[in-house]
Amino acid sequence: MSKIIAVSRKAISQLTTPQLLKSGLFLTWTASILMLIATITGIQGQRQAIKTVGEDSTPSIVTAQRLKDALAGMDAYAVKELLVPPGQNPDAVKGFEERYQKLGERLVAAAENISYGDKERKPLETMQLGFGDYIAKLQQARDAHTRSDANAVLVAYRAAAEIMDNKLLPAADALDEVNLQAIERTYTQEKFTSGMFFAFIIISGVALIIVLVTLQLFLSQRMRRTLNPWLLAAVAIAIAFLNYTAAAFLSASAQLKVATEDAFMSIHSLRQARALTYIANAAASRYLLDPAFANNYEQAFLKNITKIAQLPSGQTFETVAAYYRIEGKKIDGFTGYLADELNSITFAGEREALRANLSTLSTYLTIDQTIRQLERSGKHQQAIALCIGNKPGQSTWAFDEFKKANQKIMDINLAAFDKTIKQGFQDVDGFEITTPVAMSAIALLTLLGLLPRLKEYST
């Protein structure tokens, strides 16, 4: 290494002053080009990562979860319609129609936002085809219901439920998974490449500044020119642009981190919890409709609730919420999507909204226990009335309260997500213009600063 340095110094010492000045000009332009490439490539990578998270995958994931909501909600309303004589539950009919309409809108939205080809297209095709079969079987159940043919109702509805459980809901999950993997893959790759490009930007920027400062010192020592205003201007631009680029790059990375690790992960957990609550709600209604499979539906209900929030032994939702309010710490054994969200509180108002969501879930589960107790006691009609009722203290009312509380937390995280994605785009905006302008200005100023000195040797 020392021999290489010695040889380099000897070679440099043999160069004339004009050759050194031309070499300095060449190095300046080379460093400018390297910084231009590093900056634009790094910024474009950041922008693509922000776009993937903010515009491609996240909307598709939310749409997939909303499709799941619409499917499970529609099914729950259909069962509630079948629980009572035809025409006696207009709220269920209305709820079904609303969910039916939303499902159609969300299928269109999902089809318009396909980013990953067949990986998204196949689940959507499964939903579209399976949905037609589900509606056909459900209509058979409704027709039998109108005829008061209870056995035919169960046969037809079981077929519809099988399509819902084995085709439609798994297809919605598959659509969610495709985009979730894309976000995780993009974010993992971005964390690696952004660090690499940031280092490249810093190295090329510092190298450019060193070359410019070295030229200034060379002119001061060799040619008795204390200050070269053109070179000083080039140094100032290089330092200012490097600071601006580094700040923008770090800010964009920080915004992407907040959007992905904080806001998006909370949104995903909350949407999963919401979708599973819809599925559990449908299972609770099926429990009353089909006594032959009541145990299966009860287990399905409890399984989905456990995924949403599972309490540790000896705890209630009230004690868990109180503990978090007082201690602000994790509780061992408290698991599920709402537990994940509670353990990753980030934004103002999020903790209070989540405690309210836990409270509404507790109310809903208490009412569900009462429904099952009534059913087991032979009070079938009372159990149905409590299940389909939308007055305070009844199941539909409690479920709606849970949805409202869940949506409040969702709104907090969605607002934070939108804000950080917008700021991330702003951070990386315009570099394809400003970078060439800044590097061209540095190259031109260096030329203007060295050209008079070179002319002195040509005369």
Q: Domain ranges for the chain, please list them.
A: 23-458
Which residues of the chain carry a pLDDT beneath 50?
A: 1, 3-12
Q: So what's the pLDDT on residue 456?
A: 67
Question: What are 342-352's pLDDT values in tens digits?
Answer: 877 888 888 88
Question: What are 390-416's pLDDT values in tens digits?
Answer: 999 999 999 999 999 999 999 999 999
Question: What are 124-179's pLDDT values in tens digits?
Answer: 899 989 999 999 999 999 999 999 999 999 999 999 999 999 999 999 888 888 87
Question: What are 275-302's pLDDT values in tens digits?
Answer: 899 999 999 999 999 999 999 999 999 9
Which residue matches tokens 């079969």? 133
Q: So what's the pLDDT on residue 12?
A: 46
